[in-house]
Amino acid sequence: MFSKNKRAMELSINFLVVLILAIAVFGYGLYFSFTFFAKANDLKSKTNGDLEAQMEKVLCENSEKVCLGIDKKEVAKGKYVIFGAKVINVNGQGPLDFKIDVTPLYYIDVAGMRNDNTNFPLEVVYQQQYLNIKDNDYKNIPIAVQASNSALRGATYVYDVKIQYKKSLSDDDGGYVDYDSYGHRIYAKII
């Protein structure tokens, strides 16, 4: 009779050990699930603008003089998108005055045909006065492109972005020259 009680006691101890392990595993599973879904909600709460800004930051972490980050964006009629240009003063001449010039080049219609008509139904807004950037410093310049309701849906409008600097701060004649030799362009596709 004593051996039956001993077996029963071993069985109940084994059951308690398994039960405690199951509760611990279940608890860790709940903790992991809550942590996972909390991180997913944090990521979901970030807007597309936040993600684009982070992508542009990563794309422009190198030492190029001028970086446009994401140069192709879609814009709905009546809405706007913002492109970012990062300008780094690495000329070694001290602080310099920079200016940006954004001009329409051409657009590609829905059929894929290039059209050189530069009377675009889009408005481009950017800082047109000069920017003073210290030596080995940088500035981020936003370029907003707004599509009017008359823009062609499916067309891609192409703009030339030119960054220039004044050779000398004592120059009053407006002697701006190209800062780099690359042709920078932005592309706005109407959706």
Q: Give the tens place of pLDDT for each residue, 12-46.
A: 888 889 999 999 999 999 998 888 888 776 666 65
Are residue 175 and residue 129 in the same domain, yes or no?
yes
Q: How high is the pLDDT of residue 55?
A: 63
Are residue 73 and residue 39 in the same domain, yes or no?
no
Q: Is the CB of residue 138 less than 8 Å from the CB of residue 89?
A: yes
Nearest to 121 by CA among 157, 83, 82, 71: 157
User: pLDDT exceeding 90 applies to what percent of the chain?
Assistant: 12
Phi/psi at 80 (5° precision) = -140, 160
Q: Range of 41's domain?
A: 1-45
Are residue 104 and residue 154 in the same domain, yes or no?
yes
SS3 91: coil
Are residue 92 and residue 164 in the same domain, yes or no?
yes
CA-angle at 171, arms to 166 and 174, nearest 5°: 60
**CATH code of the domain containing 169:** 2.60.40.10
